[in-house]
Amino acid sequence: MNNTDAANKRYVDNAVGSVRNDLRKTEKKLRGGVAGATAMANIPQVTQPGKLMVGAGIGNYKGQSAVAVGLSKSSDNNRVIFKMSGSATTQGDYNIGAGIGYQW
């Protein structure tokens, strides 16, 4: 192997190593997002007419964790339910969400 080939190999090896490192970081971020969504999905929801509920949930996905808090409110006739929540992950990211539903 000549000097040019050796330099090219080092360059390619460094570039591949950098891409692998970026993929590992991205994978951890994605796993944190799944943990956040799991935590938000496990917050209890109000069931009684005219009531307000504050709840919390936790989630974990492949080594990443999250905590979530949320609020839900039911109309006096229990036909409309509003819900909002947010989570924080071990990767330092945050998720937020809200929804409203009508039942008959």
Domain borders along the chain are 3-102
Per-residue pLDDT at 93: 96
Give the rounded percent of residues in the chain with a pLDDT score beyond 90.
83
Neighbours of 82 (CB within 10 A): 15
pLDDT at 1 > cutoff 80: no
Rounded distance between C-alpha atoms, residue 85 and residue 58, angstroms: 12
Neighbours of 51 (CB within 10 A): 13
Tell the burial category of 99 from Cβ atoms under 10 Å away from its Cβ (0-12, 13-18, 19+): exposed
Rounded distance between C-alpha atoms, residue 39 and residue 80, angstroms: 23
Domain 3-102 class, CATH top level: alpha beta
pLDDT at 71 > cutoff 80: yes
